[in-house]
A and B are shown apart, each in its own frame.
Chain A
Amino acid sequence: MPQTTDRMPEPASNRTPSPATAHTAEPEPISASGRAAEHPRERVDPLRTVGDARSTDEVRGARVVLGDGGRGPFKLLPSRPRRERSAKRDRHARTRVAFFRYSYYDIAFKFFVEHVLDADFVALPKPTRRTIELGSRHSSDMVCAPFKHILGDYIEALELGADVLVQFAGPCRLGYYGELQESILRDMGYEFEMLNFATVTGKPLTEYISICKKKVNPNVSVPHGARNMLAVFKMIECLDEANDFYLANAGFEVEPGSFERAREAYFADMREATCERDIAEAQRRGLDALRALPVRKPAQPVRVGIVGEYFTAADPTSNLDLERKLLAMGVELHRSLTMTNRNLRHNERNLRASIADYVTYNMGPTSSLTIASALRYAQEGFDGVVHVKSSGCTPEVDCVPVLQRIGRDTGMPLLYLSYDSQTSDTGLDTRLEAFYDMLAMKKEKTR
């Protein structure tokens, strides 16, 4: 069985700034306090004698940099003067909290901010080309693509007046996202607070509560918050359940666009939920609406599983609408990587036990889930699996030899997609079409 080991074209080899990038106006960083922002990263430029990573056209960056001493001590986050607005219980202004964009989970993030932290949620509009351009411009070239996406989101959130940004912790590079992004944004001149959960990893729950009180809202109610936290978890499970149904059936809709519309209506409904009962009702209504839609499903549809890295596999902006493209070809999709499966119902030991023939150790944040799901899909007779990751994601790169072995052993074709902030849409289309054709032909033959 031919095995597709495709990769996106290497964009780094000719990385000349596109005219669009070169000419977009420098964003005006309007800080929350309105302070004019200067740009310390620009100041070191004249001394970048050779190979400024941004202007040369080679992979191997070599640059000479000399700071002018204006930045202060050798510290990622130099200490700041005490902010005027100290968090006193009696005179606390509601903070405006922003998350990064992450698929449809902004609905759960919104609920978390409003009902657990009891603060205002800054809803971000749909991301644009500018978002990723902003993010890429202000981050190192070699950093993984999610970092750039999230940085772009943060900049847009700050422009919309957010004063607290939230970042998670994780066992890979993600664990360092928060502090580095905070440092970059501060150097750009923004004023904000960062609720970075990486600063309290490994500490008791009380630390989590106290950091929320310190950064967001001194009046956070613990009993209220705890109850609503459970509602957040419930909501995430609901969202994933509805989306799983959408993925499995939207490829066979009779009326084009009907599933997409129903899902959007469901999301809007869920966004309005304010308590656990609302969530349950929105869920019931949404699932009913989705189930009522007419479908024309063949007896043996082409079934494809999606596995991969936490951010890129789940976020349509990052994976260039991979799911919608596959659905348009009439495929039954299953994606194991959801917050439900990775965060709420994750059992590392059991996952690893299911792949004991291939892997002994935990290889990183989502590796066991990726490998276990790929193996499960193969055993369940799926026609193919798409492995999605951001370019250079170490844990997922290390999964590839294992996945290749699984592919060899089971005869299931796998498509490997590696995304970076410059990956092209058309390149992806070609690959997906070729992959689909291969699967469909194989299915035809074995029938």
Chain B
Amino acid sequence: MGSPVFPNKATHEGVRRIGMPRALLFYRYGSLWTAFFESLGCEVVLSEPTDKGTVARGDALSNDECCLASKAYLGHVAALLESGACDAVFVPSIANVGLHRGFCTKFQALPDLVANTFADKHVRVLSCLVNEREEKTGMKEALIGVASQLGIGPREAKRAWKAAAHAQTQAERFAVARQMRALTTLERAREAAHIGRSTTSTSHNAEGEAGAARANGPTAMIGGGGAGPRMAAAANARAAFNKGRVRASKEPLGILLAAHPYVAHDPYLGGALVDLLERMGATVLFTDETDRKRALQASFGFSNTLPWIVNRELVGSLMLLHERVDGIVLVSAFPCGPDSMTDDAIVRCIQGKPILNLTIDAQSGTAGLETRVESFVDILRYQRKGGYVHAADD
């Protein structure tokens, strides 16, 4: 396999169809990686979105102490290998992008984990090392190294990097803008509801009923449609659905979903939860869709030595947004190492906002989830009305 820092030149020459497991850090660097390989002229073969089968297969392949998200990852790799649609699977080893900007050791170990788990299948792993602290190789250097393994020269690789970095920035900016829009909509709706409430309270029934009828109008159509959008629904469909819902509920709820991107945006792991919240009329905001730089910066106000960048962004985003939402749903995949430490710290330190702390594991159905989320949303609604908790303050 060659040395991790100076990979043998062109060991993977001729590989043109690159398998990309749709799991773990794909949800963070997906745009970057896809754009990079595509502008190198490679074909990116993305695995299908996670479903029950993927997780079951990954579960069978991994040690039972692995976290659910990494089990799903192995399921995705297995699916890619089985489909035979790719020449090699791209599995980078990502240690850190600077001091106190590290990743869970799982991401360091992934290439070797894949290589050893699928040792009999003769898997071809296309890999690189991202370790800025010790090796001074950032994502850029690492990817240019990957290009050279593919037999592509540095000039072309650098051009591809430029395109990739641009795509990544665009994607992040898009997500941030969408989040900001949702937040503004939420706050406007909240204001409107507040004004509406004070007018109804002065001029009683008639207007109040009319207002309710008006508000119910659009919902009846969407809500009548049945179960609402399923997990695979595109984000904009979700936003449109949301808008109707927010207008419908007199007291719009903003819920911040604090989870690693590969849990929050994975249709199987976090998708059911997001759906559930939206079906109850909440606007769901994501911690990983806040401006990453600002969130990272803010997180240093919470903790000096927190080693993981993904958790840093989560905490920083909580710091930036927790005043503006009604409640926080803190989710982690069982058993997540970094979360085992930070979840507890967050729950202990954050004040004044209710937090629902959930752990998703392979066995859990959505039934247990539903009752919990429902009761949490009820708590939030009750609190918006003056509630039992800060009743004295209001």
Contacts and interface: CB of A to CB of B under 8 A. Distances in A.
Interface of A: 7, 40-41, 47, 49-51, 59-72, 74-77, 139-140, 142-144, 147, 169, 171-173, 175-176, 178-180, 183-184, 187, 196, 198-199, 201-202, 356, 358-365, 367, 391-392, 394-395, 397-398, 400-402, 404-405, 418
Contact of A65 (B67, B102, B357, B360): B357
A275 B116 CA distance: 48
Nearest to A70: B351
A169 B336 CA distance: 20
B335 interface: yes
B351 A62 contact: no
A74 B375 contact: no
Contacts of B334: 59-60, 142
B350 A67 contact: yes
A62 B358 contact: yes
Contacts of B106: 394, 398
A60 B337 contact: no
Contact of A364 (B66, B109, B322): B109
Contacts of A184: 348
B372 A398 contact: no
B302 A62 contact: no
Contact of A392 (B95, B112, B301, B337): B337
B105 A394 contact: yes
B325 to A, nearest CB: 14
Nearest to A398: B109
B120 to A, nearest CB: 10
Contacts of B129: 361
Interface pairs A-B: 10 shortest CB-CB: A140-B344, A364-B105, A363-B109, A67-B351, A142-B340, A398-B109, A361-B93, A401-B116, A175-B307, A198-B305
Contacts of A401: 62-63, 113, 116-117
A74 B318 contact: yes
Nearest to A53: B357
Contacts of A362: 4, 95, 108
B202 interface: no
Given A66-B353, A179-B303, 17 more contacts: A7-B64, A47-B389, A62-B356, A63-B357, A64-B375, A67-B351, A71-B349, A75-B301, A76-B303, A173-B337, A179-B304, A187-B348, A360-B1, A363-B112, A367-B109, A391-B65, A402-B116
B105 A172 contact: yes
Interface string B111-137: 111011101000000010100010000
Contacts of A64: 354-357, 375-376, 379
A400 B64 CA distance: 11
B226 interface: no
A74 B349 CA distance: 5
Interface in B1-57: 1-2, 4
A3 B127 CA distance: 31
Nearest to B303: A76
Interface string B200-231: 00000000000000000000000000000000
A175 B99 contact: no
B307 to A, nearest CB: 4
Contacts of B351: 67-72, 74
Interface string B51-93: 0000000000011111100000000000000000000000001
A7 B65 CA distance: 10
B361 interface: yes
Contacts of A60: 334, 358-361, 364, 368
Given A60-B359, A363-B105, A397 B63 contact: yes
A191 to B, nearest CB: 18
A361 B345 contact: no
B105 A66 contact: no
B165 interface: no
Contacts of B364: 60
A357 to B, nearest CB: 9
Interface of B: 1-2, 4, 62-67, 93, 95, 99, 102, 104-106, 108-109, 111-113, 115-117, 119, 127, 129, 133, 301-307, 318-319, 322, 334-345, 347-361, 364, 368, 372, 375-376, 379, 389
Contact of A176 (B133, B336, B341, B348): B341
A363 B337 CA distance: 15
A383 to B, nearest CB: 24
A109 B285 CA distance: 48
A136 to B, nearest CB: 13
A342 B318 CA distance: 37
Give the residue among A40, A76, A367 with the most B Cβ atoms within 10 A. Answer: A76
A69 B348 CA distance: 11
A149 B376 CA distance: 34
B340 A144 contact: yes
B357 A179 contact: no
A139 B108 contact: no
Contact of B105 (A142, A171, A405): A171
A246 to B, nearest CB: 31
Given A398-B112, A402-B116, A65 B305 contact: no
A63 B119 CA distance: 41
Contacts of B302: 74-76
A364 B104 CA distance: 9
A386 B33 CA distance: 40
10 contacts: A63-B357, A68-B351, A76-B303, A142-B339, A187-B348, A360-B115, A362-B4, A363-B112, A391-B65, A402-B116
A178 B354 contact: no
Contacts of A363: 105, 108-109, 112-113
A363 B348 CA distance: 31
Contact of A394 (B1, B111, B119, B337): B337
Contacts of A198: 305, 307
Nearest to A401: B116
A398 B62 CA distance: 9
Nearest to B95: A362
B156 to A, nearest CB: 25
A227 B121 CA distance: 55
Give the residue among A60, A358, A394 with the most B Cβ atoms within 10 A. Answer: A394
A75 B349 CA distance: 6
A395 B111 CA distance: 13
A175 B334 CA distance: 21
B357 A405 contact: no
A61 B104 contact: no
B355 A65 contact: yes
A363 B109 CA distance: 4
Contacts of A356: 1
Contacts of B111: 360-361
